[in-house]
Amino acid sequence: MNGWAFLGIMTLICIGVFLNGLRFARITENPWAGRRLFGLPIRGSEMPIEQVRRMGRLHMIVAPLFWLLTAALCFGLLGPVQGIETITLGAGGRS
């Protein structure tokens, strides 16, 4: 896979995880409390709000770190990765 395409896809995923974490970090009540899926209570519905908010903050911290790791892989800083064409910046910019 082209390194630029892979980095672009991972950028969108990391932005989504960060924004989801921001949503959970700002939430004031458990969104799963009292809800059911196919008649069964949703797992996590008994979670205290502080744990839900902590999970959101964790997502907000991990998403940029994962993006940096992905960028390092795409640029070949950690060595070649099978299946990803490394990004090389030549005299003409992208290549």
pLDDT tens, position by position, 45-90: 888 889 999 999 999 999 999 999 999 999 989 888 888 888 887 6
CA-based angle 68:66:20, to the nearest 5? 125
Among 31, 30, 25, 23, CA closest to 55: 25
User: What residue numbers bound the domain in which 65 lies?
Assistant: 3-28+47-94
Pick left, alpha or beta for residue 6 (phi over 0 → left; psi -120 to 50 → alpha; otherwise beta). Answer: alpha
How many structural domains compose the chain?
1
Predicted confidence (pLDDT) at residue 95 exceeds the cutoff of 70 = no
In a domain, 33, yes or no: no
The overall average pLDDT reported for the chain is 88
In a domain, 66, yes or no: yes
In a domain, 73, yes or no: yes
Structure confidence at residue 4 (pLDDT):
92
In a domain, 82, yes or no: yes
In a domain, 21, yes or no: yes
